[in-house]
Amino acid sequence: MPAVSKGDGMRGLAVFISDIRNCKSKEAEIKRINKELANIRSKFKGDKALDGYSKKKYVCKLLFIFLLGHDIDFGHMEAVNLLSSNRYTEKQIGYLFISVLVNSNSELIRLINNAIKNDLASRNPTFMGLALHCIANVGSREMAEAFAGEIPKILVAGDTMDSVKQSAALCLLRLYRTSPDLVPMGDWTSRVVHLLNDQHLGVVTAATSLITTLAQKNPEEFKTSVSLAVSRLSRIVTSASTDLQDYTYYFVPAPWLSVKLLRLLQCYPPPEDPAVRGRLTECLETILNKAQEPPKSKKVQHSNAKNAVLFEAISLIIHHDSEPNLLVRACNQLGQFLQHRETNLRYLALESMCTLASSEFSHEAVKTHIETVINALKTERDVSVRQRAVDLLYAMCDRSNAQQIVAEMLNYLETADYSIREEIVLKVAILAEKYAVDYTWYVDTILNLIRIAGDYVSEEVWYRVIQIVINRDDVQGYAAKTVFEALQAPACHENLVKVGGYILGEFGNLIAGDPRSSPLIQFNLLHSKFHLCSVPTRALLLSTYIKFVNLFPEIKTTIQDVLRSDSQLKNADVELQQRAVEYLRLSTIASTDILATVLEEMPPFPERESSILAKLKKKKGPGTVTDLEEIKKERSSDMNGSAEPALNATVTTPSPSEDDLLGLGPAPVTNSPPPPSSSGSLLVDVFSDPTSAVAPLAPGSDDNFASPDLASSEVVSEEPADTVHDADELFHKFVCKNNGVLFENQLLQIGLKSEFRQNLGRMFIFYGNKTSTQFLNFTPTVICSDDLQSSLNLQTKPVDPTVDGGAQVQQVVNIECVSDFMEAPILNIQFRYGGTFQNLSVKLPITLNKFFQPTEMSSQDFFQRWKQLSNPKQEVQNIFKAKHPMDAEITKAKIIGFGSALLEEVDPNPANFVGAGIIHTKTTQIGCLLRLEPNLQAQMYRLTLRTSKEAVSQRLCELLSEQF
């Protein structure tokens, strides 16, 4: 900075500040300020021209008055005039005033921009620095429009001084963050990457911050930065603290730059070049080794800097998830921090280990610290650390330790902070369901959960218990006995009454043979809780009573007396009154057969994923360990070699709401969130929006295609210009399933949820913006060839052309299969991101087998039909090598997922698989028989398909062959 001359002391400003500080009251301060404002105004309006010093002094006073909280409505022009001064201090005060007081809508902005341009063109490093600081401080869109094209040139110019390069990099970063669409990508992008090799570490630090932000949005443009970042990191990590003396902080060489370089590397997958990858591994090993060395200083600044680099290195190891040795070492290092006296280190260690637990390489290493984590749960004083301990226990849980972890969580729940009780309840419910080897343990756990923290047990949790009990015959009697015993406690939580009322209403007959739980005792026990419950629970209990009329005719009179009482028939609540009247009438006039039909046992619920997981995700927000765990499963276990199945990948439709316990009407709309997508992705939670529930399709109904909001069709008949991404891989992934992530890159994630019935289907496409920047002109288009258009009728609903950063939009596609088809439609997506046009295409997984309806057949019928389809043109056979492990259960699941019925005990060879189904189209129905013969020794399959149409046989054979 230039030396300050003797006359720059501004004594008048010092006197004014002193006067303000000496004021005894607010009124005195305002009086002094008003006097000064009047004096400054008169000076500015006077005939005598002010010199630069006077302007600077008065502008400084105005700035001080503004900082005291008073409005300033003049002096802006004088500040702009100071920008043209050649004196540093005057120009500095002018820029300071403009940065603080001038807004982007000011009429002076053009004059200010001209002054800034002059300073940027002056090649005076001091003036250029002031101008760049002003641009960054204002950071408005107008500034970006004016200078976003100039600053990159300054940044990469060969004659620019290091201090100016630093300022230019940070200024460009500020403009990119506020207006990314105005910062043009060009030739400078390849040159700015080479700033990572600059000799001045200040330039490297600023450039790394800029490149990291740019690479997050435009990874391909900056992928050459990986090798340079590894090279620079290697030099820093292997250097002694004396080598980088100016950038060494408490014996740690360039810690901030190291952290920034490690974050930059997290924008990319592991380097493909073996040399670069080996050098990066050496760097990470060196960082882990240094963490084991004795500290070179006892100062907290030393340990903070050292640990900052260490935790960022561990984050990179976790991000790459490819080096088992490094992952285990990172886990062991974090394990040492779990008992550190510094609270922040314990918190960070627990948080990082949560992510490590989701890696197949380090999961076992994380589990070795279970006792330490449990101890932290019991003894830790900081609630945030206890919460992270709960997260880690949840993440490290598997079948081997589930009962121990659930028991510890239940114990902690009794004394847990109120702020995290609901979250713990959800996690216990999820783990108990997911890892239960015995359903009786699951029922006991959930009932214990209700007893300990009933107020925090949401509807989703007790819905799940009922759904699982209804779907499992072997646990129904035990559940009825257990809830009966639990209800005998003097004080029961209302959620327990709901569970007990529902289960006894369905399965109370299973325990009625015991005199201690006779029908009358069951009824009296439930009715003793009636007056203590809320209206919805009373409504459920009334439904249970009418169920008892069917189950136990011997207590019908007792129940009718209760329903006939004035407290029910004349109840102030219309819902209770209506139920009492209708149930009493039903029990009076209906015959035994009608009662048995109307009040029959609830049928099993469809198998779907748990809605509790969706509620936990919603509560925790994106990026949680739950999301990471689900993503790992999605990547590792599609239909090909699936992971260990959960207890029941169960049920969320319709919840056993007290409003429709008997199933007499359509399922009521509840407030519980729908279940999560099986993909477990961060953005595409395809069940999270109530509007995404797939409405039932009426077979043969034209209403599915005549809805006014779906009438806007975007189906066109031209081919997309660009390549279809991973067409075969993505296509075959969805042949045997309907939900999941279809496509994902750095910017966009596309998820699907679909349902098909006969020749109709409906597909929900979810587009997730993974960036923090808006997608503009977002236009997804479904493209069909001419041949496909005649066979497949698609209608799409338009989507909002703007997708906010981190947001998700949904598009509905209605599908009608007119006749059999061979191709698949193309989904073309075009949008503008960060000033660049994006265009991609993927195949939509609408395949002929989606219109399969399974057909059950006896062995005799199957082979009789098999012989009828003996024409050579009706049969297609394929012998092929197994691409995946030959597991019988997985094979069965794939055949069922393909759409056909799996026929047991039909083929004389029990190792073979046979299936049957009908392809439904609008014009015809095509019967299909299939036979799959595995040869375990040769690791080969023979697949035979027979249909009444050769092209259909060929297509189905192609699709199914790719699954094994």
**751 neighbors 684 (Cβ within 8 angstroms):** yes
617 or 946, greater pLDDT: 946
Q: Is residue 948 domain-shared with residue 821, that is, in the same domain?
A: no
- Top-ranked range on mean pLDDT: pick from 335-349, 638-652, 867-881: 335-349
Q: Is residue 455 domain-shared with residue 583, that is, in the same domain?
A: yes
**541 neighbors 530 (Cβ within 8 angstroms):** yes
The tokens of 190 are what? 């390849």
Q: Is residue 835 domain-shared with residue 942, that is, in the same domain?
A: no
Q: How many domains does the chain have?
A: 4
The pLDDT of residue 212 is 92
Residue 542 has pLDDT above 90, yes or no: yes
Any domain includes 238:
yes
DSSP state of 772: S
Q: Is residue 871 domain-shared with residue 837, that is, in the same domain?
A: no
Residue 2 has pLDDT above 60, yes or no: no
The pLDDT of residue 133 is 92
Any domain includes 290:
yes
Could you read off the pLDDT of 250-305 as tens digits, one per residue? 888 889 999 999 999 999 888 888 999 999 999 999 999 988 888 888 888 888 89
- Using the 3D structure, point to which of 262, 291, 317 is the last residue of a domain: 317
The tokens of 820 are what? 């059999």
**417 neighbors 386 (Cβ within 8 angstroms):** yes
Span of 260-264, 323-327, 906-910 with lowest mean pLDDT: 906-910
Q: Is residue 455 domain-shared with residue 579, that is, in the same domain?
A: yes
* H-helix or E-strand spanning residue 346: helix 343-356
Q: Is residue 141 domain-shared with residue 219, that is, in the same domain?
A: yes
**174 neighbors 132 (Cβ within 8 angstroms):** no
* H-helix or E-strand spanning residue 760: strand 760-769
Any domain includes 135:
yes
Specify the amino acid at residue 366: V
CA-CA distance, 239 to 290, in Å (whole number)? Answer: 12
- Using the 3D structure, point to which of 599, 629, 663 is the last residue of a domain: 599
Any domain includes 952:
yes
Residue 675 has pLDDT above 80, yes or no: no
CA-CA distance, 46 to 959, in Å (whole number)? Answer: 88
Annotated binding site: 11-12, 43, 53, 57-61
Any domain includes 806:
yes
The pLDDT of residue 728 is 58
CATH code of the domain covering residue 812: 2.60.40.1230
Any domain includes 418:
no
The pLDDT of residue 526 is 92
Q: How far apart are the first and last CA of the chain?
A: 72
The tokens of 39 are what? 């004096």
3-class SS letters over 491-502: CCCHHHHHHHHH
Mean pLDDT of 833-859: 84
CA-CA distance, 366 to 115, in Å (whole number)? Answer: 60
Could you read off the pLDDT of 473-528 as tens digits, one per residue? 888 899 999 999 999 988 888 889 999 999 999 999 899 888 898 999 999 999 99
CATH code of the domain covering residue 913: 3.30.310.10
Q: Which of these, 110, 169, 107, 178, lies nearest to 138 by C-alpha position?
A: 178
The pLDDT of residue 513 is 87
Q: Is residue 877 domain-shared with residue 806, that is, in the same domain?
A: no
Burial 45-84 (b: 16+ CB within 10 A, else e): eeeeeeebbbbbbbbbbbbbbeeeeeebeebbebbbbbbe
**393 neighbors 385 (Cβ within 8 angstroms):** no
Could you read off the pLDDT of 573-619 as tens digits, one per residue? 899 999 999 999 998 988 888 888 888 888 887 766 566 666 666 66
Q: Which of these, 915, 929, 924, 923, lies nearest to 869 by C-alpha position?
A: 929
Q: Is residue 752 domain-shared with residue 891, that is, in the same domain?
A: no
The pLDDT of residue 702 is 37
Mean pLDDT of 373-384: 87
Q: Is residue 866 domain-shared with residue 834, that is, in the same domain?
A: no
Q: Is residue 587 domain-shared with residue 455, that is, in the same domain?
A: yes
Residue 1 has pLDDT above 60, yes or no: no
Any domain includes 533:
yes
DSSP assignment of 194-229: GGGG-S-HHHHHHHHHHHHHHHHH-GGGGTTHHHHH
Span of 129-138, 682-691, 824-833, 939-948 with lowest mean pLDDT: 682-691
The pLDDT of residue 755 is 86
The pLDDT of residue 480 is 92
Helix (H, G, I), strand (E, B) or coil at 281: helix
The pLDDT of residue 548 is 92
Any domain includes 26:
no
Could you read off the pLDDT of 198-207 as tens digits, one per residue? 888 899 999 9
Q: On the CB side of 453, how many CA atoms lie within 13 Å of its CA?
A: 28
Q: On the CB side of 624, how many CA atoms lie within 13 Å of its CA?
A: 21
**E strands present in 834-922:** 836-843, 852-854, 875-881, 901-903, 913-920
Averaged confidence pLDDT in the chain: 81
The tokens of 122 are what? 């002056």
3-class SS letters over 629-642: HHHHHHHHCCCCCC
Mean pLDDT of 905-921: 86
- Using the 3D structure, point to which of 786, 821, 846 is the last residue of a domain: 846
The pLDDT of residue 611 is 67
Other CB atoms within a 10 A radius of the CB of residue 628 amount to: 19
Q: Which of these, 944, 924, 947, 940, lies nearest to 932 by C-alpha position?
A: 944
Q: Which residues contact 566 (CB under 8 A, 6 or more apart)?
A: none
Its domain, for residue 564, covers 438-599
The pLDDT of residue 265 is 92
CATH code of the domain covering residue 199: 1.25.10.10
Q: Is residue 830 domain-shared with residue 888, that is, in the same domain?
A: no
Mean pLDDT of 911-925: 87
Residue 632 has pLDDT above 70, yes or no: no
Q: Is residue 781 domain-shared with residue 877, that is, in the same domain?
A: no
